[in-house]
Amino acid sequence: MIQNGSYLNVIDNSGAKTIFCIKVLSGYKRRYAGIGDLIVVSIKSLRTKRRSTSKTKKGEIYRALIIRTKVFNNQFSGNKVSFFENSAVLLNKQNKFIGTRVFGSVPKLFRYTKHLKIIFLSSGVIL
């Protein structure tokens, strides 16, 4: 579960390395966000190799789509999926992906949402 004040890793090639959750979207006084939810984030650090050609800058505000969480995610089939880290992908104001690649695997549940493009950008799909 991601809440205000949580740090996440960025798993796309937008240039950011770590981000900080400012607000959980989609709900009045909503406290926690899970896989597939949108949050508002601030960039805390950039990748060292991409600092000169980065699409983002430190301190900027973006939206992010949560891809992985440490807390397991129950699915209708009875499977529980959990990861070793909290990670997200950066989005712009129109909810378009900033990066062009996603590093690592992505849960299969994105196949049934409006963010289907993330499956094509990633290297693999997990139950």
Asked if residue 15 lies in contact with residue 51, where contact means CB atoms within 8 angstroms, the answer is yes
pLDDT at 74 over 80: no
Q: Which residue has the tokens 């709900």?
A: 27
Q: Which domains, from first to last, does the chain contain? A: 7-126 (2.40.150.20)
Within 8 A by CB and 6+ apart from 78, the residues are none
pLDDT tens-place string over residues 94-119 = 999 999 999 999 998 899 899 999 99
pLDDT tens-place string over residues 18-47 = 999 999 999 999 999 999 999 999 999 999
Give the type of residue at 71: V
